[in-house]
């Protein structure tokens, strides 16, 4: 950890650590929307390729796409519930 002169160690005491964590803004990140959209995009690409005659690519695209949609969707749900 690099210490910035004048700021001190943020972990000097429990109170300092809690104050530092309370000052951080963990909400408002919409990066998970991009993850869900990319997962849906992968599933759409698989659908198009399957119609064109390349169903084998689904062994790669479907698990990745479903994982992205589920993971991002759960994170968005947790963000919605928590705040």
* H helix intervals, the chain: 14-23, 31-51, 58-82
Phi, psi of 16 (to 5 degrees): -65, -40
Q: What percent of the chain has pLDDT over 90?
A: 40
Which tens digit of pLDDT belongs to each residue from 50-65?
A: 999 988 988 999 999 9
> Where along the chain do its domains lie?
29-82
More confident residue, 50 or 13: 50
Question: What pLDDT is stored for residue 22 in this prediction?
Answer: 76
**For 1, what's the count of Cα atoms within 13 Å in the CB-facing half-sphere?**
8
């Amino acid at each position: 950890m690099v210490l910035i002169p004048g700021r001190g160690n943020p972990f000097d005491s429990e109170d300092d650590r809690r104050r530092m964590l309370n000052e951080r803004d963990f909400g408002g990140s919409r990066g998970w929307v991009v993850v869900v959209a990319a997962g849906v995009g992968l599933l759409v690409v698989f659908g198009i390729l399957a119609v064109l005659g390349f169903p084998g690519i689904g062994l790669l695209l479907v698990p990745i796409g479903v994982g992205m949609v589920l993971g991002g969707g759960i994170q968005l749900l947790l963000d919605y519930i928590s705040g």
